[in-house]
Structure 1
Amino acid sequence: MVVIGDGDDLVMTEVFLGREALGDGLPRHELRRWYKQMFRGVYLPKNATPTFEDRALGAWLTSDRQGVIAGAAASALHGARWVDVREPIELLVAERRRQPGLVIRMDRFRDDEVTTLAGMPVTTAARTAFDLGRHQPRALALGRLDALMRAAPYGLADVQRLIDRYGPVRGVRQLRELLPIVDGGAESLPESRLRLLLIDHGFAAPETQIAVSGGDGFTALLDMGWRDLRLAVEYDGAHHQSDRVQYLKDRRRLPGLMEREWEVLTFVNEDTPREVIARTYEAYVRRGGAEIDALAWVTRSSAPNRRFGREGGDGWAA
Structure 2
Amino acid sequence: MGELGDPFPGSWAVKAGTVTQWELRKDFCRIHPDVYVRKGTELDARIRALAAGHWAKGAGVLVGLSAAAMLGTRWLGDEPAELVKPGTSRAPAGIIVRRDELLRDETCCVAGFTVTTPARTAFDIGRRAPFEKAVVVVDALMNATRTTPSHIADLAARHPGARGIRHLLRVLDVADGGAESPRETLTRLLLIEAGLPRPETQLRIVGHDGFVVARADLGWREWNVIVEYDGAQHWNDRRQRSWDIDRTAILESMGWKVVRVSAELLDSRPWVVIDRVRRALAAAGADV
Shorter-chain TM-score tier: 0.7 to 0.9
1:287 aligned partner, one-letter code: A
Structure 1 residues 220 and 71, CA, compared in 2 at 3 Å: closer, same or farther?
same
- Could you tell me how far 1:50 is from its partner in structure 2? 6.3
Q: Indicate the residue corresponding to 1:301 in structure 2.
A: none
The one-letter code matched in structure 2 to 1:273 is P
The aligned residue for residue 174 of structure 2 is 181
- For 1:138 and 1:80, the matched residues in 2 are separated by 18
Q: Which residue of 2 aligns with 1:122?
A: 115
| Superposed displacement of residue 247, structure 1 | 1.4
The one-letter code of the counterpart of 2:273 is V
Question: Please, which of 3, 14, 17 is the counterpart of residue 16 of structure 1?
Answer: 14
Map 1:21-100; keep pairs closer than 5 Å. Answer: 21=17, 31-46=24-39, 53-84=46-77, 86-94=78-86, 95-100=88-93
Q: CA RMSD in A?
A: 2.5
Asked if 1 retains the 8 angstrom alpha-carbon contact of 2:148 and 2:177, the reply is no
Q: C-alpha deviations, 1:284-303, integer Å up to 9, x for none?
A: 22221113xxxxxxxxxxxx
Alignment partner of 2:223 out of 225, 229, 244: 229
Which whole-Å deviations, capped at 9, do the CAs of 1:208-228 have from their partners, x for residues lacking one?
111223236671111111111
Match of 2:261 among 253, 256, 267: 267
Percent of aligned pairs with the same amino acid:
36
Q: Which amino acid aligns with 2:83?
A: L
Instruction: Tell me which moved more, 215-224 or 256-265.
Output: 215-224
Q: Does 1:287 align with 2:279?
A: no
Between 184-193 and 271-280, report the one with greater CA deviation.
Answer: 271-280
Distance 2:144 2:124 in 1: 17
Kept after mapping to 1: 8 A contact 2:49/2:69: no
Q: Is 1:140 aligned to residue 125 of structure 2?
A: no
Deviations 1:22-41 (A, max 9, x none): xx8x7656644553202233
The worse-fitting range, judged by mean Cα deviation, of 277-286 and 120-129 is: 277-286
On the 8 A contact 1:206/1:226 being kept in 2, the answer is yes
Gaps of 5+ in 2: 6-11
Contact 1:92 1:104 in 2 (8 A): yes
Q: Against the structure 1 CA distance between its residues 251 and 100, is the aligned structure 2 distance closer, same or farther, given a 3 Å change threshold?
A: farther
Aligned 1:145-156 pairs, distance under 5 A: 145-156=138-149
Corresponding residue for residue 311 of structure 1: none
Of stretches 38-47 and 109-118 in structure 1, the one that deviates more from structure 2 is 38-47
CA distance 1:247–1:100, change in 2 (3 Å):
farther
Residues 45/139 of structure 1: CA separation in 2 closer, same or farther (3 Å cut): closer
Deviations 1:160-195 (A, max 9, x none): 233222223232112112223322211101111111
Q: TM-score, normalised by structure 1?
A: 0.78
The number of residue pairs the alignment matches comes to 277
2 CA distance for matches of 1:192 and 1:51?
A: 21
Equivalent pair of 1:16/1:43 in contact (CA under 8 Å)? yes
Residue identity in the other structure for 2:282: V
Query: Distance between the aligned counterparts of 1:76 and 1:47, measured in 2?
Result: 20
* Residue of 152, 166, 171 corresponding to 2:159: 166
Contact 1:12 1:45 in 2 (8 A): no
Q: Which residue of 2 aligns with 1:305?
A: none
Shift of 1:156: 3.3
Name the CA shift for 1:258/1:12 in 2 (closer, same or farther; >3 Å).
Answer: closer
Q: Unpaired runs of 5+ in structure 1? A: 5-10, 292-318
CA contact (8 A) 2:46 2:70 kept: yes
